[in-house]
Chains A and B, each alone.
Chain A
Amino acid sequence: MIHNMEFETLPREALEAIQLRRLRATVERVNATVPFYREKFRQAGIVPADIKSLKDLQRLPFTTKADLRDNYPFGMFAVPMDNVVRIHASSGTTGKPTVVGYTARDIEMWAELMARSLAAGGASRGDIIHNAYGYGLFTGGLGVHYGAERLGASVIPISGGNTKRQVMIMKDFGPTILTCTPSYALHLAEVATEMGIDFKDLRFKSGVFGAEPWSEGMREEIERKLHLTAVDIYGLSEVIGPGVSIECIEAKKGLHIFEDHFIAEVINPETEEVLPYGETGELVFTSITKEAFPIIRYRTRDITSLNPEPCVCGRTLMRMNRVSGRTDDMLIIRGVNVFPSQIESVLMEIEGVEPHYQLVVDRVDNLDILSVMVEVGEGTFSDEVRVLQDLEKKITKNIKEYLGVSVKVKLVEPKTIARSEGKAQRVIDNRKL
């Protein structure tokens, strides 16, 4: 179902006129209020008046995760803190998270986009939404929550974890829409089976899954095991959170980008040139309506392509294909973004630990398991088992505290971590998507 008939089915010309008007206003505003952008524009020799057409967007400089880190925590905000009503954060590449802010109007707009997304995924007033995305600094939980309320659906704010209790609630409350990461959906199915509960007997119609990469194969598995229709949702906190783009339940082929709020480009990550529709490269987003945290040409590091073909659902919004990978070494573990460099910072803070480590990711019973292999050198070795076990516990605890992700620490002998051409292979991802 289409939630906002006017804006989701605009003729392209009208949509582009709105985009240009909003882009110009955003560029004006960030130039006036965010020193970072003003300086970047100055360096690029651009003034806001230079933006005369949508094509001129390409003249603006890119924004990267490193820029956000340099302006930690609130340096990229375009409004005084008095007007910021919400703060979210996601993983940064080092110890510090990436921080984003929202005005009351941003929250309204986000709720609208999430209502559109849930509607595209088959939800409407009267549905019960079992929202198993994590609530907290992560945008997933609250993003879906506000959208569900905006839609007029009933939301169960179950958040993540405590899977058996979740299954009991699914059985007793009869939710009709499931929202969580795709791997957690499969985990729910397995736990339900163990508890002797068949998803066939539950009331789910569809599920909106995202926050981590998945595949058509996983979609088939989810649909078969959970007896529902599975759609893909995309978003990132730097742009707004979930609700940047959504698959429609009618086609389930590519995610419609809410272009009246975000402009998407795909670039060649090396040359930074903008690629034509259909070509695969790095996805770049510019927000054109956000107040507290507008973002100009943000390099998402996600790899995909754009598809401007009309869709059977009636939306005129362009689609992006499923994200197929990353241009950096970021891992997504049970929906949490993890950079190897963050793990490294945690390890280096522990006395005696050497900078020889490797991350191994496996998917066991549909849950991501991140193992951190740490070499035991003379600085950490002891003849007592207890001392080494304490070391394992300390590393596990520190990583959990800094990154919010549970890992399994495995102590290994020196030189067991393969060093190819002097450079260690830091990540082995055994997940088959």
Chain B
Amino acid sequence: MRVEQISVFLENKAGRLCEVTRILSEANINIRALSLADTSDFGILRLIVNDNDKAREVLKERGFTVGKTEVVAVEVDDRPGGLHRILDVLFKANVNVEYMYAFVQQSGDNAVIIFRFDNPDDAVKILEKNNVTVIGGEKLYKM
């Protein structure tokens, strides 16, 4: 039930993000979701793409430091309180969210949120026990 995310180290200077999107575009890779965390010195670009292995390969070839992380994609009711219900479940189970961001496509009528947990296995169990729909990688990449 896991989704693979790649992350790229970027220095905070002009043109670096553009360089990543150029490389991915030239390799015909589609970006499905992304989030950029930044400090005054550096940024970390997290991406979900349709072909992780190829994306890592082309980025590494061009000198980028690329990491791979497992994240969890969760369906969220697209209505007030939808996200809150999920975070409440996680909070009560004492599961820490490292970061999260939204997926571009909806799953049916629901929004999709990507979560990064310290311990994704435990988090998935807790979410499923509370009737939250977790989307697997296969399905997500094709959405």
Contacts and interface: CB of A to CB of B under 8 A. Distances in A.
A383 B69 CA distance: 7
A358 to B, nearest CB: 13
B42 interface: yes
Contacts of B2: none
Contacts of A388: 9, 39, 42, 44
Given A383-B7, A383-B46, A385-B39, A414 B116 contact: no
Nearest to A389: B39
A320 B34 CA distance: 63
Contacts of B98: 384
A432 interface: no
A155 interface: no
A377 interface: yes
Given A383-B116, A385-B39, A388-B44, A411 B9 contact: yes
A376 B99 contact: no
A215 interface: no
Contact of A385 (B11, B37, B64, B66): B37
A364 B31 CA distance: 42
Nearest to B40: A410
Nearest to A411: B42
Interface in B32-86: 37-39, 41-42, 44, 46, 63-67, 69
Interface string A413-433: 111100000000000000000
A382 interface: yes
A105 B41 CA distance: 53
A414 B59 CA distance: 12
A172 interface: no
Contacts of B66: 378, 381
A385 B40 CA distance: 11
Contacts of A385: 37-39, 44
B61 to A, nearest CB: 12
Contacts of B38: 385
A318 B30 CA distance: 75
A383 B11 CA distance: 14
B63 A381 contact: no
A416 B69 CA distance: 25
A377 B60 CA distance: 11
A413 B64 contact: yes
Given A384-B99, A413-B9, A416-B11, A377 B65 contact: yes
A410 B39 contact: no
Q: Which of B9, B42, B98, B99 has the most CB of A within 10 A?
A: B9
A191 interface: no
Contacts of A378: 65-67
Given A376-B65, A381-B67, A382-B67, A413 B46 contact: no
A414 B67 CA distance: 13
A414 B61 CA distance: 12
Nearest to A386: B98
A412 interface: yes
Contact of B63 (A392, A410, A411, A413): A413
A410 B64 CA distance: 17
B64 A414 contact: yes
Contacts of B67: 378, 381-383
B11 A412 contact: yes
A384 B16 CA distance: 19
A376 B46 CA distance: 16
B39 A414 contact: no
B7 A381 contact: yes
A376 B42 CA distance: 10
Given A381-B65, A381-B67, A383-B69, A376 B39 contact: no
Q: Which of A381, A413, A414 has the most CB of B within 10 A?
A: A413
B10 interface: yes
A410 B11 CA distance: 9
Top 3 A-B pairs, shortest CB-CB distance: A383-B7, A383-B69, A381-B65
12 contacts: A381-B7, A381-B9, A382-B67, A385-B39, A410-B41, A411-B41, A411-B42, A413-B9, A413-B16, A413-B63, A414-B63, A414-B64
Given A388-B42, A388-B44, 20 more contacts: A378-B65, A378-B67, A381-B9, A381-B66, A382-B44, A383-B5, A383-B44, A383-B116, A384-B44, A384-B98, A384-B116, A388-B9, A411-B42, A413-B9, A413-B16, A413-B65, A414-B63, A414-B64, A414-B65, A416-B11
